[in-house]
Amino acid sequence: MNIALIEAARERVPSVPVLVNMVSKRVRQLNSGDRPYVKPAVGEEKTDIALREIIEDKIDFAKLEEKSAPAGIL
């Protein structure tokens, strides 16, 4: 995990627990086959991809919650 990406993501999401939850949820989505919203570098870890998505404002907590909600709940 890239420390510079963590610091940059903390500027967008100052709450560490919220940031951890966002990255964790997004990594689970990526591991289950979701496509990244940024172009991954060769060999880039999924955590770094999730952090870059947060930094580039491609995802936010509301979008993650909406995407992971079971059908019929929204």
Confidence of residue 65 (pLDDT cuts 50, 70, 90): confident
Residue type, 27: V
Report the pLDDT averaged over residues 16-26.
95
Crossing angle between the packed helical segments 3-12 and 16-31, to the nearest 10 degrees: 110
Are the beta carbons of 51 and 5 closer than 8 angstroms? Answer: yes
- Tell me the CA distances in angstroms from 49 to 13, 17, 53, one per residue in order: 16, 18, 6
In sequence order, the 6+-apart residues with CB closer than 8 A to the CB of 62 are none
Q: Residue 47 falls within a domain, yes or no?
A: yes
Q: State residue 66's pLDDT score.
A: 73
Q: State residue 68's pLDDT score.
A: 64
Q: Residue 46 falls within a domain, yes or no?
A: yes
**Domain containing residue 21:** 3-68
Q: Residue 42 falls within a domain, yes or no?
A: yes
Confidence of residue 70 (pLDDT cuts 50, 70, 90): low
Confidence of residue 73 (pLDDT cuts 50, 70, 90): very low
Q: Which two tokens stand for residue 21?
A: 């939850």
Q: What is the pTM of this model?
A: 0.85
Q: Residue 73 falls within a domain, yes or no?
A: no
